[in-house]
Structure 1
Amino acid sequence: MAKILLIEDEPTIRDEVLDWLQFEGYEALGAPNGRLGLELIQREHPDLILCDIAMPEMDGHEVLLEVRASMRFSTIPFVFLTASADREAIRKGMDMGADDYLTKPFSHTELLNTVRSRLRKKEIQEEQMHNRLQMLAAALAEEREQRLLKSRLVAMFSHDFRNPLTAIMASAELLEDILRDQANLDDHKQTYLNRIFGSVYILTQMLDEVMVVAEMEGGQIACLPQMIDMASFVEKLIEEFRLIDRHAHRFNISNNLPDHLEVDPRLLRHILANLISNALKYSPAGSTVRLDLFLRDDQICIEVQDQGMGIPAASMPHIFEPFHRAENAQHLKGTGLGLSIVKECVTAHNGQIEVQGAINGGTMFRVALPLVPISI
């Protein structure tokens, strides 16, 4: 029996939702505010948390920050309940690590569908982790080659690094909000906060790449499409790069994709992040990086164009090989893994990637991913 905690300060809503959950066979617990909710989380360790955003004593964002900062509770699915479709509050919550949200008033069916979906997703993630542990145990027992074993160990331990990074990011965002509310956020403080945001992004990207490399070596990269808000997805990614790049380059963004598409967000992020990162790395300051996204012939097309140093003809056949670095890029920092990761992610999505460019003439990468019909 799954244990669900509802943190809601309105007694009528709290009692009604608890009745719904209990009728469906769940063990339902209720708390009237965030402080008491945290005490229940620590004592009961629920399987899922439903939490109102606007509450006295401690609001939903603060509860989420505490939950995601804890090693014990960071993987518990967290669903926000909000009285209005406040996109800013919702986006802030999702950026801090919330898994979903429900807008009040919601129906009995909407609530149960969300609960079942999130519990099922948690179950799948736990099964995947269990399978990875079993695979690691088998690798140890059979004394598989050290490189594969090391990659899987690194991939598993990288999960433990992600939670502190999430806590750092959420704390910095909370500090930024406090300083802004107090009219004490000057350019000097914002610069240091931006450095925190940029550094956390870089470390998170490195962890993600470690995971992908481990999956590449184990032949385990899978494409799991889900419906995402493409405009928000692209906007957030570009804002992260603006923080890291500190406005050294200009961005020319053209997004003509539908508002919602079914793609694998993890694979898409690796594709876009690595291509944009390379475009910035190999382009002179002040130049423009162009990103075009559009549909053509039932395919999602992505083009990333820079005005950088270009790729020598001799390197063209090898650019997607792990650790390969073009002769004219040897003086720049890098692992040589980015494009091999992009290639694997595109292949897992049953897509194609091609490159055009010449020395000192810039480079353009073109990715085409098959369009997945939206589930109804």
Structure 2
Amino acid sequence: MQTLVQALAAAALLALLTRLLPNPQAAQGIAVFPGRSMAPAAMLLYAYMGSALAITLMSLILWCWLRERLYILCAALLAAGFAYAAFRYRPEGLWLPGANQPQHALSIAYCSFCVVATVFFSQLFEFRRHWIWAAHLFSVVAWLNAIALGLALLGGYPQISRAVVFTALVSTSFGAVFVLYLLVVRRQWQYLPGALAFAVPSALGILNLLRTQGLLPDVALPSAQMLWFAGRVSEAILLGMAVTNRTRVAERALRSERMQALSRAQAAERELESKVLQRTAQLQTAQQALQTALHSEREMRLEQRQFFNMINHEFRTPLTIVDGAATELQTFPTTDADSLIEQASQIRRASRRLMTLVDTCLISDRLDAGAFRLQLEQTPLDELLEESAELVGWSRRHRLKLDLEHGPQQWQCDPVLVRIAISNLVGNAIKYAKAGDITLAARCDASGDLLISVSDQGPGLAPEAAGQVFEPYERASATRHVNGHGLGLSVVRRIARLHAGDAFFQPAAGGGACFVIRLGRFLPGTADARQERPPAARPAAVPPGMPA
């Protein structure tokens, strides 16, 4: 619809100009420099035609490469200019059609040049982007020239020649002013090569149009044809430069767009790699968590099986003793005091063993509870050790030796936990040591910590087993022939670490084993401990007064 309106407006304008502007020189056709000889300008004419032909071929190549409309318009413009110059001056050696009607062919070439020049000028300086009404005006002028071309083909150019020339004069003047505005006011310097290409020929063309239409006196200028041809040569060269610059700008924009696309692709690749690494790390973390959970579950099942095995052996043995003694009393009642005392002792030893085992299991479960707290209080050390060593009194094969001479009278600790820890060490000494003394000693070391040791005359431990026996359900190979659950020493170490200390093994003098509990000193008013402390440094040697 817009194109149709522009075409109708152009037709109406051409009719109006034909009516208003008489054409006294219509019979003469188009004469650029009438009466001038072209011999002095022959070289420039051929130079213009050669450069126009070369740049036309270059524009066609660029159009085939970039497929941009401007290049095909540039080729059409230069071809039309080439045809106009050829028909106007008819250089020797160049065959041209329409020799019998030179003015008719010249009018067709001129109208063709006006059509292409108007469209090319609007495209080159991007009128539509800077001012839409300028683009509409040049569209109307292009349609007017197209209508004039149609009339010229039909032989009606002499009647409209002055209207065509006037339209070319107005459009060229307006275009020059608008391009000057773009350069000076808008600072659009990318249009400078195109402006220079049209500057000289446009000025000469306006001057020539004014002279041929009688609007300026026909003053004879020396070398006028030379000046016109020089302007055309400069136009062709500068137009080639403008097209080349446009190609360079387009290539730079294309390269920049490719670089941006490459940068975006690289950024996307880096982001993808980062996401892959992140997802891989998450998968590895999840896999590790799964492996940890599976390992924990397997350990839990193993501990459960070991616990049930321990329950099966450890609880069954004392219960069998109790049941056997009770059955004997029931089956064979006796009044023999010694026999009754022996059977009662068996029952009490079995019951005491059950109580120790139950206490160990329960305290192990308590230590695993998240809300566990130490109940610290000042505890008499002699009472604590004597109560913890009661088991020795029930053994016929062992004797208890207490060494409290170098120990403090009281110590701040959780007496229930410490009593269980010492009882476990004493119970191990009774089970594993051969007949002899079991020594229970206490003293403070140089750092002020309390050291409680239980030494026996048993088989001892191999050096490589000394660190393993403190793990849950771990037992030394030398003690596997004796019933045991492997839980006591792990409880001992946990209780010691809760008291800011540790538990460790060292060989006793003359053979046997010596297990030491280190208890850290709590200052008065210290809050109850909530977590196990890291193990304290093991002393390099046994302090004086302690069993080796």
TM-score by length of 1: 0.47
Which structure dedicates a bigger proportion of its chain to strand? Answer: 1
Which structure dedicates a bigger proportion of its chain to helix? Answer: 2
TM-score by length of 2: 0.33
